[in-house]
Amino acid sequence: MTFKSRGVVDKVWLGWFILQIIVTPLIDGLPFYPKWLYATPDSPLYFLQRIHELYVTTYRDLIVTEWHSPVPVRPWVRLCTYIEMAFQLPTSLYAVLRLRKGRGTSGGDELLLLVYAFNVFFSTLLCAHDVYHWDEKLYTMAEKHFIVGGIYGSWMLIPFAMFVDMYLRLYGRVSTSDIAKKTK
């Protein structure tokens, strides 16, 4: 199995995955913790509740508040969050273990990260699309642009760049393999 390293690019991806490992369980994972762990000031993870409250009061992001709605208006949010916990978080952990060694990626790693990048991009795209359908009486277009560009934009841009990188790596492997077969 051959490994490809892209030095600086792999370090960027490593930084991204470390960020994902921090954000996913601490911010997006809040609804998965038992309430006694975070809901009251004497709870051990109360700081997570405070971060959540600060985010919600600052940005009024309806997608983040969806979990606390008794009847979900956006049931797809929960599905995307389950996928984030079951697929994106373990993939991020694996990627950190793989990339921290600095030895590059295998074809299997690149395929996994291609799927991961598409998943993160697409789920974030769903969120960005939803923002533009929020009630015009409650959110100005400027607020919507800020939420999409300032909050969701980087979570689409970075996975998109990763998708292109992994695609090109895989394409290079397949092309090399095809050339080797033709010359035999």
* pLDDT at residue number 66: 82
* pLDDT at residue number 180: 62
* pLDDT at residue number 4: 63
- 180 domain-assigned: no
- 82 domain-assigned: yes
Contacts of 102 (CB under 8 A, 6+ apart): 5, 10
- 183 domain-assigned: no
C-alpha–C-alpha distance, residues 24 and 17, integer Å: 10
Full residue range of the structural domain in which residue 89 is found: 8-174
pTM of the predicted model as reported, rounded to 2 decimal places: 0.89
* pLDDT at residue number 179: 67
* pLDDT at residue number 65: 85
* pLDDT at residue number 183: 67
Total count of domains within the chain? 1
* pLDDT at residue number 70: 77
- 16 domain-assigned: yes
C-alpha–C-alpha distance, residues 123 and 129, integer Å: 10
Using CA atoms, how far residue 84 sits from 29, 140, 156, 179, 181, in Å, is 9, 29, 14, 38, 39
| Residues β-bridged to residue 4 | 105
- 78 domain-assigned: yes
Contacts of 136 (CB under 8 A, 6+ apart): none
What string of DSSP letters covers 102-155?
TS-B-HHHHHHHHHHHHHHHHHHHHHHHHHTTS-TTTS-HHHHHHIIIIIIHHH
- 179 domain-assigned: no
- 132 domain-assigned: yes
Q: What is the mean pLDDT of each run of 10 residues along the chain (184 residues)?
A: 74 97 90 93 95 90 83 87 96 97 92 98 97 94 95 95 97 78 66
Contacts of 38 (CB under 8 A, 6+ apart): 30, 44, 45, 46, 48, 49
- 143 domain-assigned: yes
* pLDDT at residue number 37: 94
Start-to-end Cα distance in the chain: 20
